[in-house]
Amino acid sequence: MIEGDLFKSLFDVIPFDVYVVDISSYEIIYMNKKMIQSRGDYIGQLCYERIYGEPKPCLFCKIPYLIDSKEAKPLDKTIVFELFNPVDDRWYQLQEKVITWPDGRTTKYSIAVDITELKETQNRLAEAHAQLALKNKMLEKLSITDSLTGLYNRLKIDEVLEITLYAAKRYGRTFSLLLIDIDHFKNVNDRFGHLVGDKVLKQMTEVFRSQIRKTDHLGRWGGEEFLIVAEDTDLQAAGQLAEKLRKAVESAFFPEVGTVTISLGVATWRDSDDRITIVQRADNALYKAKESGRNQIVVEG
């Protein structure tokens, strides 16, 4: 009896809920003062029913992992885990171990530390991290996207061009540029206004998207100019793509203005190229297309 009282007194000084159950019957045989004060006296009742509101032993019960199944003896093992208890709507960190109770019974003690506030803080922190990640992703997208058309902006398409140029030099791959200009776009803005001009740019973007491949990179180069970086595309294939785009735009109907045409300059990568020289050659080809009457393509010679 004295040994039992001494054993119980060790649990009574712990400032957290402590209970002990008989592992053969799941009967609660002891609760420390702290737990009785906070929850009530459950001694003599079944732990899974009274503490966890379950009709049968809990699925998370650690007793099978704390005893030697062959000899039915306690293992010198402690398990620490976190658990949400729906009965009181609280989170706990449980420390559990199987021991021999002073009266000879094999029992399991559980020390339950309420970590609800910690969990709420962790959840708020996780939510804040998620929101921050989402905002960073949005900011990143905004930093590389043209706000009107949703295409890559000049900064991003320049970056794509640099990466593609590196791949061409490093791995011997080819690529082509298509520089596109909307014919007489200034007249559209002057006659119909800039809001209509913006609608034309948006619709033009959708026409381009419907014609290019997934491997083609389309960006707004500036104003009414667009640039396509066509990977693994030689001069002949790039010319065919340019003509396909020209015809698609020519046959499209733009509600506020009727028909619109485009001019295109095409250049293919050469071993001596850097970003400036290949863009310059595409720009020279575009200039020739415009000087020759517009609504046509010019492929570099």
Report the alpha-carbon distance of residue 298 to residue 45 in Å, rounded: 90
**What gap in Å lies between CA 169 and CA 25, rounded to an integer?**
75
Q: Which helix (H) or strand (E) holds 128?
A: helix 116-144
Cα angle vertex 168, ends 164, 174, to 5°?
Answer: 95
Q: Are 94 and 81 in contact (CB under 8 A)?
A: yes
Per-residue tokens: 49: 């029913």
Find, among 142, 42, 63, 46, the residue nearest to 109 by Cα.
63
Using CB atoms within 10 A of its CB, is residue 115 exposed (0-12), middle (13-18) or buried (19+)? middle
Angstrom distance (rounded) from CA 224 to CA 1: 94
Q: Among 49, 224, 250, 291, which one carries the catalytic annotation?
A: 224
Q: 224 catalytic, yes or no?
A: yes
Residues acting as catalytic residues:
224
